[in-house]
Amino acid sequence: MPGSSIPQNRVFGLDAVRLKVDPAEHPWRLAEQSAIAAHWAREQVERPFLFNGTILLHRALRFEKDTISGISHRAPYAAILHWIRTQPEADVWHLFGSAVMLSSDGAMMLIRMAAKTANAGKVYAPAGSLDDSDIKDGLVDVEGSILREAMEETGYDLSRAEPERRLWAVRQGRRVAVFRRFRLDEPASQLTARIRDHIASGAEDEIEDVVVVRRPGDAGPTVTPYMQAMIEFHFDTPDVDSGWQTGGIG
C-alpha cells in the first residue's frame, strides 16, 4: 500500500525527497471534481480572500533508503481545502517543506498566521504548499521551497545560514511535513525585530506575528500537531543532529 513504509506520528530522519511531476490530473482530483467545486463555492462565500492558485498534490509515496519518493500532480488550491475537510482514504498526499530557524541563543522562531488565510491563528515554522515555482526539470524541489517560503514569510535568505545536513519529517495520516533546521548567527530578540519589520513592510500579509519557542510548551494552543512533534523532538533530544554545513546551501 502506498505510504505504508513512511513512519507515522514520530519524527524521522531522511536524506532526500524525490517527487516526479506527472502532467496528468491526479486521479483523486478527477473523481472529486464536482465536490471540490462545490466546496470552493462555499469557501468563496465564507472566506472570499482565499486564492485558488495552483499547488501540487502527491500519490504513491514511498520511504526507502532514507528517501521519500512519489509522484506529484498540479491541482487547484481548492482541492487541498476539500482534502483537509474530508481526509479521504484515497492515495492522495499533502507533502510540504518547512524551515526551522534557530537563533544563536537557542530559540526556535515560528510564525502565527494572519486572519485572512486558510490557517488563521495557526502557529508553525515558515512553510507552504508546493507549487509550480518549485518544479525544476520535471522534479519537485522541496528544499528550494523551504528556502522560498522562509524568504517570503520572514525576509531571511536561509541559503546563507548554517543548515543541518539531514532533513527531518513527520507524517500524520497523509500529511507529511519535511523540515530542515537552520542555525542563524543572531539572537531571538534581533530575529524577532527583523521579521516584524518584514511583516510591517507589507511584503508579507499572511503572517500576523513571530512566536519565540524556548521549550516545548511555548508555542501555545494553536500550534499544529506536526509542528509540536518537531518542537518536542528538537528540545527533548538536543544531542540528536546530523552535523551542520558551513557556507549555506542553494
Task: Tell me the pLDDT tens digit for each residue of 97-153.
Answer: 999 999 999 999 999 999 999 999 999 999 999 999 999 999 999 999 999 999 999
- Band of pLDDT at residue 238, cut at 50, 70 and 90: confident
Q: Where do the DSSP E strands lie in the chain?
A: 11-14, 16-21, 54-64, 67-76, 94-102, 108-113, 123-124, 127-129, 135-136, 139-140, 162-163, 167-172, 175-183, 207-213
Q: What is the pLDDT of residue 239?
A: 79
- Band of pLDDT at residue 243, cut at 50, 70 and 90: confident
Number of domains into which the chain is organized: 1
- Band of pLDDT at residue 3, cut at 50, 70 and 90: low
Q: What is the CATH number of the domain that holds 143?
A: 3.90.79.10
Q: What is the pLDDT of residue 128?
A: 94
Q: By residue range, what is the domain housing residue 199?
A: 11-236
Q: Is residue 25 part of a domain?
A: yes
Q: Is residue 131 part of a domain?
A: yes
User: Quick check: pTM over 0.75?
Assistant: yes
Q: How many CB atoms lie within 10 A of CB 18?
A: 12
Q: Strands 162-163 and 167-172, how do they pair?
A: unpaired
Spatial separation of the C-alpha atoms in residues 157 and 12, rounded to whole Å = 26
Name the percent of the chain in helix, strand, coil, to the closest 5: 30, 35, 35
Q: Is residue 29 part of a domain?
A: yes
Q: Which residue has cell 498566521?
A: 113
Cα angle value 86/180/124 (rounded, 5°)? 50
How do residues 57-92 score in pLDDT, each as one tens digit?
A: 999 999 999 999 999 999 999 999 999 999 999 999
Q: Is residue 247 part of a domain?
A: no
Which segment of 34-38, 70-74, 184-188, 242-246 scores lowest on mean pLDDT?
242-246
Q: Is residue 141 part of a domain?
A: yes
User: Is the separation of the CB atoms in 87 and 124 below 8 Å?
Assistant: no
Q: What is the pLDDT of residue 241?
A: 78
Is the pLDDT score of 24 beyond 70? yes
In three-state secondary structure terms, 18 is: strand
Spatial separation of the C-alpha atoms in residues 169 and 6, rounded to whole Å = 10
Q: Strands 16-21 and 67-76, how do they pair?
A: parallel
Q: Is residue 6 part of a domain?
A: no
Q: Is residue 246 part of a domain?
A: no
Mean pLDDT along residues 203-232: 94
- Band of pLDDT at residue 1, cut at 50, 70 and 90: low
Q: Is residue 4 part of a domain?
A: no
What are the cell numbers at 115? 486572519
In three-state secondary structure terms, 128 is: strand
- From first CA to last CA, the distance across the chain in angstroms is 34
In three-state secondary structure terms, 157 is: coil
Is the pLDDT score of 12 beyond 60? yes
Q: Cα–Cα distances in Å, from 203 out to 123, 146, 147, 191, 206?
A: 19, 18, 16, 17, 9
How do residues 156-201 score in pLDDT, each as one tens digit?
A: 999 889 999 999 999 999 999 999 999 999 999 999 999 999 999 9
User: Is the separation of the CB atoms in 35 and 82 below 8 Å?
Assistant: yes
Mean pLDDT along residues 212-221: 97
Q: What is the pLDDT of residue 242?
A: 75
The contacts of residue 85 (CB under 8 Å, 6+ apart) are 39
